[in-house]
Amino acid sequence: MKSYVYPAATSTARALIRYIIDMMNREPERIFYLAFSGGTTPSLMFDIWAHEFREETPWMRMRIFWVDERCVSVSDSDSNYGTMLRLLLQEVGMPDEYVYPIHGDCRSPAQEAKRYSDLVSSTVPLRRGFPTFDIVLLGAGDDGHTSSIFPGQEYLLSSFHPYEKSINPYNGQPRIAMTGCLLFSARKLIFLITGKNKTKVVYDILKSGDTGPAAYVAHHAADVDIFTDIEIDG
C-alpha cells in the first residue's frame, strides 16, 4: 500500500487528478474503466477537475461507472451520479454513451443491483471471470464503512454478485453497493480521504486490517493507494 499525503483537501484532489491523467497517458491507445464514489471530497475533486484539468484529460478514453449509490432521485443532493453529473460530466461535455449510472430512483434496489451487475459484467473487461476496473475510487466513513458496506455487513465483502443492496444502519436508507468480488478484482484501488475527523480511519487503513470494511479492503486488495491530507506518524 502506498500513501500520498498533501497539505489540504484541494491539493490532495489535484494530485489524484494528475495521477489518473498520467496513468492514462502512459497507455494512450487504451480505454480506461473507472468506478467513482460520492461524498464531499470527490465533489471537490470533480469541481477542480472541470475547471483546472478539462483540456488535458482524455475524456473520450474514459468509461465512467459508480462504486455505490443512494436510492434517491438524480436531482437529490445525495445522489452520487447526480453530483458528478452536475459538477463534472455536464461541464466537460462527457457523452452519455460513456457514462453508466446506477439508477438510484429505482423501485427495487435489489433488482437494480442485479441490472447493474449484469451491465458491468457485460461492459467491463473480465479477468479471472470478474469485471476488472482500472481504478476503483473509494472513500471511507468515520465508522470505517466503504462502498456503502457498513460495519456488520462484511458478508458483502465475500459476495460473488458484483453489486448488492445494502442498508445504511443509521437512517435505514437503502443503497446499492459494489461488493468484494469487484473490489478485489480491480487493477488499482484508490482511497481518497480528507479531513481531520477521518484520522482514525486513515490510521486503521494504514496500520490494521480488521477494524472495519475500509481497512479490510485496503489490506486484502492487490494494489492500493491512499490519497489524504492526514499525516499518520510511524
pLDDT digits (tens, 9 = 90+) for 142-197: 999 999 999 999 999 999 999 999 999 999 999 999 999 999 999 999 999 999 99
Contact residues for 41 (Cβ-Cβ < 8 A; gap 6+): 9, 12, 13, 139, 192, 193, 194, 195
Q: Which three cell numbers stand for residue 215?
A: 481497512
For the chain, the domains span 10-140+148-178+201-220
119 strand-pairing partners = none
Residue 112's CB: how many other CB atoms inside 10 A? 21
Residue 211 pLDDT: 84
Residue 205's CB: how many other CB atoms inside 10 A? 30
Q: Which three cell numbers stand for residue 82?
A: 447526480
Beginning with the edge strand found earlier in the chain, give each strand of the sheet holding 32-36 in spatial order.
2-5, 224-228, 189-193, 135-138, 32-36, 62-66
CB environment 180-194: b (16+ within 10 A), e (fewer): bbbbbbbbbbbbbbb
The interaxial angle of helices 199-207 and 213-220, nearest 10 deg, is 30
Residue 159 pLDDT: 97
Residue closest to 97 by CA, chosen among 105, 109, 89: 89
Contact residues for 111 (Cβ-Cβ < 8 A; gap 6+): none
What pTM was computed for the model?
0.97
Residue 47 pLDDT: 98
CATH class of segment(s) 10-140+148-178+201-220:
alpha beta
How many degrees, rounded to 5, is the angle at CA 47 between CA 164 and CA 174? 20
Q: What is the mean pLDDT of each run of 10 residues along the chain (234 residues)?
A: 96 98 98 96 97 98 98 96 98 98 96 98 96 98 96 96 98 97 98 96 88 94 97 80
How many degrees, rounded to 5, is the angle at CA 190 between CA 189 and CA 191? 125
Q: In whole angstroms, what is the distance from residue 138 CA to residue 146 CA?
A: 7
